[in-house]
């Protein structure tokens, strides 16, 4: 198995025995605030994990006390960079500045959409602060866990910004339109316990240790199942979110007409009757 690439802002790895890939945000001294390097590296890391034949599930975490404090606004230079205000566009006409800003926003959107685009499920474990861009990132994941004292906030309105990286598009399908609207308009901070109540996270654990063990166990359990079935389930769920019931039924029928003849089904049934764990081939 080839070694993962070296990143400035991320730690990436693979456990070949459990088939779980790991991606950790690694700017703990900055509460994993998202800078230009992280925007560029997240899709590179997701692409590498997606293409790794040993990876059947990805566990996304954040190093240190906080999962992600949002975009890095620690300096005026960093803020300008995040907002796409480059020196190269000084003196350009308003139309060209707008076109450059549009392309900048679309690049940032694509960075976190890479998590959703990954064929295998992505489970995230959230501790401490998950603000602004951190919410954009976790709403692109398939399953979310947190500690009870984690803190979530759709922060953008407090910065005079309309959130534009994915929260306003993905959060309503997770917690419902009304709850998502209230959180986005007020920038109200909620705890992991409330996040569990409204459905933002599947489960809120007592502390970081329990969170780590629980999220890891879930990732290992998913990775132990048929890779084709797991990938198909993720694809079908995302398709159903964005389409009508009839369109979703057609999509899964076409997909399963090809996949129900796989060796995974034969192996799963054989293992069940032989009372052993199934062994699935690489993707």
Catalytic residue check, 164: yes
Helices (H) and strands (E) in the chain — how many of each?
11, 9
Catalytic annotation present for 71: yes
Hey, CA dihedral for 70, 73, 77, 80, is it positive or negative? positive
Catalytic residue among 164, 182, 189, 267: 164
State the catalytic residue, choosing from 34, 71, 123, 126.
71
Give CA separation, 41 vs 12, 180, 240, in Å. Answer: 11, 28, 29
193 catalytically annotated: no
CA distances from 209 to 59, 63, 126, 134 (A): 15, 13, 12, 21
Out of 41, 156, 196, 264, which one is annotated catalytic? 156
**Residue 105 CA: distances (Å) to CA of 81, 82, 102, 155:** 11, 9, 5, 17
Query: What is the Cα–Cα distance from 213 to 221, expressed in whole angstroms?
Result: 12
Catalytically annotated residue among 136, 142, 196, 264: 136
Active site residue 207: no
The active-site residue out of 21, 70, 128, 133 is: 133
Q: Which residues are catalytic?
A: 71, 133, 136, 156, 164
């Amino acid at each position: 198995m080839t070694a993962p690439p070296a990143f400035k802002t991320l730690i990436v790895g693979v456990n070949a025995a459990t088939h779980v890939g790991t991606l950790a945000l690694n700017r703990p001294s900055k509460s994993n605030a998202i800078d230009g390097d992280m925007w560029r590296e997240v899709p590179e890391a997701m692409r590498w994990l997606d293409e790794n034949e040993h990876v059947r599930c990805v566990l996304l975490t954040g190093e240190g006390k906080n999962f992600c404090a949002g975009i890095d606004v620690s300096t005026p230079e960093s803020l300008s960079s995040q907002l796409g205000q480059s020196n190269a566009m000084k003196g350009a006409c308003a139309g060209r500045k707008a076109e450059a800003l549009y392309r900048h926003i679309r690049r940032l959107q694509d960075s976190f959409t890479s998590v959703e685009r990954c064929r295998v499920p992505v489970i995230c474990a959230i501790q401490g602060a998950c603000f602004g861009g951190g919410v954009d990132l976790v709403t692109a994941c398939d399953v979310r866990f947190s500690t009870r004292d984690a803190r979530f906030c759709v922060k953008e309105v407090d910065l005079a910004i309309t959130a534009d990286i994915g929260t306003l598009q993905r959060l309503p399908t997770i917690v419902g339109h009304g709850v998502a609207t209230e959180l986005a308009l007020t920038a109200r901070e909620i705890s992991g316990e409330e996040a569990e109540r409204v459905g933002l996270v599947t489960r809120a654990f007592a502390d970081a240790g329990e969170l780590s063990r629980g999220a890891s166990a879930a990732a290992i359990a998913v990775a132990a199942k048929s890779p084709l079935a797991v990938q198909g389930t993720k694809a079908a769920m995302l398709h159903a979110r964005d389409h009508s019931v009839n369109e979703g039924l057609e999509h899964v029928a076409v997909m399963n007409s090809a996949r129900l003849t796989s060796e995974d089904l034969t192996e799963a049934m054989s293992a069940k009757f032989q009372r052993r764990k199934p062994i699935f081939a690489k993707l």
